[in-house]
Amino acid sequence: MPAPAWFLTAGVFVNRFGSFVIIYLVLYLTRLGFPAYQAGTAAAAYGAGEPLASALGGDMADRIGRRATIVSSMLVSSASLIVLSQLSAYGAIVGTTFVVGLSSEMFRPASAALVADVVPEGRRVTAFAVLRLASNVGFAAGSALAAFLVGRSFQWLFAADAGSSALFALIAVLTLPDDPPRVRAAARETGRSGYRAMLHDRSFLLLVGSATLITFVYYQQIYALPLHVTDVGLTDRDFGLLLTLNGIIVVLLELPISSVTMRRNPRSMLALGFLLVGAGYALTGAATTLPMLALTVVVWTGGEMIGAPISYSYVADLAPADAGGRYQGLFGVAWGTGAITGPALGGLLLSANPMLFWPLLGVVGALAATMVAAVRPRRWAEGTTVGFEAPPEVLAAGEGLPGEPFPQPGGYEPPPS
Residue type, 321: A
* Percent of the chain residues past pLDDT 90, beyond the cut: 26
263 and 339 both lie in a single domain: yes
Cβ 42 vs Cβ 93: under 8 Å:
yes
| Pair 160, 149: CB distance under 8 Å | yes
Both 29 and 78 in a single domain? yes
- Same domain? For 114 and 237 the reply is no
One domain for residues 201 and 268: yes
> What type of residue sits at position 337?
T
CA distance 206 to 267: 12
Q: What is the pLDDT of residue 377?
A: 60
Buried (b) or exposed (e) across 339-348, using 16+ Cβ within 10 A? bbbbeeebee
Q: Counting Cβ atoms within 10 Å, is residue 329 exposed (0-12), middle (13-18) or buried (19+)?
A: buried
Last residue within a domain, chosen from 179, 205, 228: 179
One domain, residues 203 and 135: no
Mean per-residue pLDDT, 112-117: 88
Confirm whether 383 is domain-assigned.
no
Q: How far apart are CA 15 and CA 155, in angstroms?
A: 18
> In this structure, is residue 251 part of a structural domain?
yes
Amino acid 189: pLDDT: 57
Same domain, 52 and 82: yes
pLDDT reading at 150 higher than 90: no
| Structural domain contains residue 391 | no
The pTM (predicted TM-score) of the whole model is 0.73
Q: Is 153 found in the same domain as 204? A: no
pLDDT attached to residue 44:
77
Cα torsion angle, 95, 330, 332, 323, sign: negative
86 and 232 co-located in one domain: no
Amino acid identity at 187: A
Q: Which residues contact 92 (CB under 8 A, 6 or more apart)?
A: none
Alpha helix (H) residue ranges in 219-353: 224-231, 236-261, 266-284, 290-318, 324-336, 338-352
CA separation for the pair 361, 235 (Å, rounded): 24
111/58 Cα distance (integer angstroms)? 10
When comparing pLDDT for 8 and 404, which is higher?
Answer: 8
Looking at the structure, tell me whether residues 235 and 373 fall in a common domain.
Answer: yes
What tens digit of pLDDT does each residue of 153-212 get? 888 889 989 999 999 999 999 999 876 655 555 555 555 556 677 777 888 888 889 989
Residue 416 domain-assigned (yes or no)? no
* Confidence band, pLDDT 50/70/90 cuts, at residue 396: very low
Q: Is residue 57 part of a domain?
A: yes
Q: Could you tell me which of 337, 54, 312 has the C-alpha nearest to residue 215?
A: 337
The total number of structural domains that make up the chain? 2
What does the alpha-carbon distance between residue 83 and residue 386 come to, in Å, rounded to a whole number?
46
Question: What does the pLDDT look like over 55-78, one tens digit per residue?
Answer: 888 888 888 888 999 999 999 999
Last residue of a domain, one of 151, 179, 207: 179
Which amino acid appears at position 327 of this protein?
A: Y
Residue 175 CB partners (closer than 8 Å, separation 6+): 3, 4, 7
20 vs 393, higher pLDDT? 20
Q: Look at residue 410 and tell me if it is in a domain.
A: no
The CA-CA-CA angle for residues 264, 217, 123, to 5°, reads: 25
* Same domain? 146 vs 204: no
- How many CA atoms are closer than 13 Å to the CA of 310, on its beta-carbon side? 30
Domain assignment of residue 235, yes or no: yes
Tell me the average pLDDT across 403-416: 36
Mean pLDDT in the chain? Answer: 81
Residue 86 counted as domain residue: yes
pLDDT top residue among 393 and 375 = 375
Residue 114 and residue 210 share a domain: no
Q: Is residue 204 located within the same domain as residue 61?
A: no
Angle subtended by helix axes 236-261 and 290-318, to nearest 10: 40
The residue among 181 and 352 whose pLDDT is bigger is 352
Domain encompassing residue 295: 192-377
Distance of CA 348 to the CA centre of its chain: 26
Q: What is the mean pLDDT of residues 10-19?
A: 89
Q: Give the CA dihedral 258, 259, 263, 268, nearest 10 degrees.
A: -20
Q: What's 150's domain CATH number?
A: 1.20.1250.20
